[in-house]
A and B are shown apart, each in its own frame.
Chain A
């Protein structure tokens, strides 16, 4: 029986191996692209519905806190309006100074509007599929953002007409970030379940709950993309580094139309 099993096993294993290499390296994901094309409509439907139900269930389960949450959001909203007005003033002043000093302005970012049609949160990854691919000049490691420069994830694999993005809580994500309040540089790593850790924050660094985390731009990504907020900052048992947890800001249930930064 063993010989029969191993013969069959080797044949099947080789078949899957060839399928994997042909799809990933030889044809730019042609098989995946074909399968996504077939399942596009059903995927879109279920992702849309599931994310809404999930949002509903989430809000339903936390209904006891909803009044408090609403008050907090209203307060935050008015504070953000104030900050927005201030930022607007700074922007105008910046433009004026650039003009005076003859400094060229920062290049405008090129955005491609994409739609998320599938969200996969599995046991070892957290990914989403978007409806644009090689034909729309999408490339690996391009950042995907929501309105308001909120970072969602990075492009991980590009097919003909579709691409896969890894979300911020995917363990494969590795982004150089900084805290906006204290300017501390750190490395963001996904931890699944809509959370990520800030690695390399030393015990002496001042990071507190509620601090905003943005991209630092040191790893080639656009600078100042909003990542999320610190939800936990504790001294580590080992003593050298802090244990800092970040909750990504973007909630996929709020909308599936997003942007890919092309340049």
Chain B
């Protein structure tokens, strides 16, 4: 399976989890933005994934509760910040620690921008959730990448 294929399948699962978790466990997830950011950072060239990311993001956007397109714009801003930060600080994408920190930072940027539109108070409540989910997504990603041996699927 190609990298894009894995991303689409993961996003379908996340879409399902998103709808279920909130109803049964009152747990609001940030799984999609975290996966989207990771998907973009994982690509060394960074020019092949953006269309796929936007296509999936628009689907999630439709169910976000915000004006259609808004969360995709915010996600694109976070992704761009990621590329700048990676360039400026010369972050090694092979290191799991630096990748975790970068994904965490970018997800916080994403949540921060959206909380400016809603209420800054919300970000304070969501920090722990974001932290837990970033760790979970990265562990799952590492686990998946060790199982699926594919040329395009580079280990982090």
Identify which of B18-26, B88-96, B138-146 touches chain A. Answer: B18-26
- The DSSP consensus for interface residues of chain B is helix
Which of chain A's residues have a CB closer than 8 A to the CB of B64? 120, 122, 124-125
Q: Mark B76-120, 1 if CB is under 8 A from A, else 0.
A: 100010010000000000000000000000000001001101110
Closest chain B residue to A167 by CB distance?
B65
Q: Mark A81-115, 1 if CB is under 8 A from B, else 0.
A: 00000000000000000000000000000000000
- Contact B50–A53 (Cβ < 8 Å): no
A183 within 8 A of B: no
Closest chain B CB from A11 CB (angstroms): 9
For the complex, give the distance between the alpha carbons of A57 and B25 in Å. 9
A-B contact count (CB 8 A): 123
Closest chain B residue to A17 by CB distance?
B73
Which of chain B's residues have a CB closer than 8 A to the CB of A29? 68
- Contact A127–B69 (Cβ < 8 Å): no
Closest chain B residue to A121 by CB distance?
B22
Given A20-B69, A122-B28, A190-B119 contact (CB < 8 Å): yes
Which one of A53, A123, A157 contacts B126 once the chains associate, using CB atoms below 8 Å? A123
Which of chain A's residues have a CB closer than 8 A to the CB of B68? 19-20, 23-24, 29, 31-32, 35
Closest chain B residue to A13 by CB distance?
B76
A5 within 8 A of B: yes
Closest chain A CB from B49 CB (angstroms): 10
For the complex, give the distance between the alpha carbons of A125 and B114 in Å. 10
Given A20-B73, A24-B67, A12-B47 contact (CB < 8 Å): no
Among A24, A51, A57, A123, residue most surrounded by chain B Cβ atoms (within 10 Å):
A123
Interface residue count for A (Cβ, 8 Å)? Answer: 46
B131 within 8 A of A: no
A164 within 8 A of B: yes
Given A1-B46, A172-B119, A194-B26, A127-B67 contact (CB < 8 Å): no
Which of chain B's residues have a CB closer than 8 A to the CB of A172? 117-119
List of 9 A-B pairs having minimum Cβ-Cβ separation, nearest first: A20-B69, A127-B65, A171-B119, A125-B65, A171-B118, A54-B23, A123-B28, A5-B47, A120-B65
Q: A121-B23, A124-B126 are in contact. List 18 more A-B contacts (CB 8 A).
A: A5-B45, A8-B47, A12-B50, A16-B73, A31-B68, A32-B62, A120-B64, A121-B22, A122-B28, A123-B28, A123-B29, A124-B111, A124-B122, A171-B115, A172-B117, A172-B119, A193-B26, A197-B121
User: What are 27 pairs between A and B in contact, CB < 8 Å?
Assistant: A1-B46, A8-B47, A9-B76, A12-B54, A16-B54, A17-B69, A17-B73, A32-B68, A46-B19, A50-B23, A53-B23, A54-B24, A118-B63, A122-B65, A123-B126, A124-B66, A124-B114, A124-B126, A125-B64, A126-B65, A127-B65, A164-B65, A171-B118, A172-B117, A191-B122, A192-B122, A193-B28
**B residues lining the A interface (CB < 8 Å):** 18-20, 22-24, 26, 28-30, 45-47, 50-51, 54, 58, 62-70, 72-73, 76, 80, 83, 111, 114-115, 117-119, 121-122, 125-126, 129
**A residues lining the B interface (CB < 8 Å):** 1, 4-5, 8-9, 12-13, 15-17, 19-20, 23-24, 29, 31-32, 35, 46, 50-51, 53-54, 57, 118, 120-127, 157, 164, 166, 170-172, 189-194, 197
